[in-house]
Structure 1
Amino acid sequence: MGNLTVDPLAIGALVGFGCLVAISLGIAIWLYKQSGKAAGEK
């Protein structure tokens, strides 16, 4: 791995994908907490 070239486009795609996953996880956790609250109130 001495001549490893870093492709800016690959990094951009990786960062974009990482953000997408993080946002999806955040929404999923938020929805889970909301449903948990609703179930606990009854």
Structure 2
Amino acid sequence: MQVNLVSQPQYESLVELLCELHAHYNEGSSVPPEMMRSHLVDN
């Protein structure tokens, strides 16, 4: 198995995936993509 850091071209796909995961596991809750993107970039 190979694990790599997320590259900038992959951010949008990952942001979308993380927003969908959040919505799935936290029914009735959503996270704005901008907030998720900011968290991803900052961390």
TM-score in same-fold range (> 0.5): no
Of Structure 1 and Structure 2, which has the larger fraction of its residues in helix?
1
> TM-score, normalization: structure 1?
0.41
> TM-score, normalization: structure 2?
0.40
